[in-house]
Amino acid sequence: MTVLLTLAILLLIAIAIWQMTKIFELSQINAEVSQVATDKDNKYNGILMFVFLIFIYGITIFSFAKYSKTLLPVAASEHGADYDQLMWVSFAIIFFVQTITQALLHYFSYRYRGKKGNKALYYADNDRLEFIWTIIPVIVLAGLIIWGLYTWTNIMDINDEDDPLIVELYAQQFNWTARYGGADNVLGEANVRRIDIARANILGIDETDPNATDDVIAKELHLPVGRKVNFKFRSQDVLHSAYMPHFRAQMNCVPGMTTEFSFTPTITTADMRQDPDVIEKVKRTNAIRAKRAAAGEENSDPWEFDYILLCNKICGKSHYNMQMKIIVETEEEYNAWIEGQQTFAQTMAMQ
């Protein structure tokens, strides 16, 4: 820390000296020396604008070619394809417009640069031009907004059709807890005021509610592939956000209220681990981990792909560590797992 502060002070001193030098130079300027840009200056700046245009296009193409796979992982939910299509169409329109407008901007900077003897032509207004550059964005944006609202309505259509699995995700600093409805697929009533750590009632479940007896509490989220899941979200303390990137799902967890989201998983964890992109990512990650382990920076345990639930709202000092493993499996595997779990009534009987 001392070294960092010393370097910062030296940097500030250097900046102060540089600024004083500039002030001294300005005070010595000869009144006869003109500060007005010449034709040569304007041509030079126009050429630089073209150079900068090439740089913008180059860095954009490079970024998409190298990092486009890091934007979003493979969509593993039923609505994910619609979500991704909307995003990529929006990107295409944005970059199409950006390409044209930036090219015109930089071209005009060179073509209509200042020249000795040239006089700017002033237009008070141009109704046709103003109509064109107003109505086209209005039509495009209206189309995107309507399409976005339609997609959002479909995604947020939370109902009990198709016999959905009911799961609660409970957020607290800094971990997640999952609660399943059990055999009756109905969650018992719960409230943070009923939390009793001494009796292992960590979610504040109403012990007198008959629907709560078969509830299952887990620290790992298991989901059956191809079955709709209706999620209910609660928070014990502060605002959290349940974010599942592979499923294109995110919902705020708000203290004092229950929020909802629904999706259908389409790819099991086992199948996802066979995806070529995932295999390549696992190889790269394990190579990096091995290199860091050799340097003593972390352990050398190999990493294996898993779906993950993250908190996407900064909720405190350990926000980065608020994660939960998600396992998508076949209906048979899910049923076998859920039958092996202890119910809420069994947990309370052991207290």
* Topology of the domain comprising 165-349: Immunoglobulin-like (2.60.40)
Longest dimension (CA), the chain: 96
- Classify residue 255 by burial, with Cβ atoms within 10 Å: 0-12, 13-18, 19+: middle
User: What integer pLDDT is reported at residue 33 of this predicted model?
Assistant: 54
Q: Provide the 8-state DSSP code for 85.
A: H
- In this prediction, residue 260 has a pLDDT band, given cuts at 50, 70 and 90, of very high
Cα–Cα distance measured from residue 326 to residue 310, given in angstroms and rounded to the nearest whole number: 10
Structure tokens at 45: 């700046």
Cα–Cα distance measured from residue 76 to residue 235, given in angstroms and rounded to the nearest whole number: 26
pLDDT of 31 above 70: no
- In this prediction, residue 19 has a pLDDT band, given cuts at 50, 70 and 90, of confident
Residues 6 or more apart whose Cβ sits within 8 Å of residue 199:
348, 351
Sign of the torsion formed by the C-alpha atoms of 346, 347, 350 and 351: negative
Cα–Cα distance measured from residue 252 to residue 169, given in angstroms and rounded to the nearest whole number: 11
pLDDT of 180 above 90: yes
Nearest to 89 by CA among 35, 34, 145, 37: 145
Q: Is 46 helix (H, G, I), strand (E, B) or coil?
A: helix
Cα–Cα distance measured from residue 248 to residue 151, given in angstroms and rounded to the nearest whole number: 12
User: What integer pLDDT is reported at residue 127 of this predicted model?
Assistant: 83
Cα–Cα distance measured from residue 6 to residue 212, given in angstroms and rounded to the nearest whole number: 61
Cα–Cα distance measured from residue 27 to residue 160, given in angstroms and rounded to the nearest whole number: 78
Q: Percent of the chain scored above 70 by pLDDT?
A: 94
Domain locations in the chain as residue ranges = 165-349
Residues 6 or more apart whose Cβ sits within 8 Å of residue 123:
none
Q: pLDDT digit string (tens) for 117-164?
A: 777 777 777 888 888 888 988 998 899 899 988 888 888 878 877 789
Cα–Cα distance measured from residue 269 to residue 288, given in angstroms and rounded to the nearest whole number: 23
Estimate to the nearest angstrom the gap between the alpha carbon of 93 and the chain centroid.
21
Q: pLDDT digit string (tens) for 270-294?
A: 999 988 888 888 888 888 878 877 7
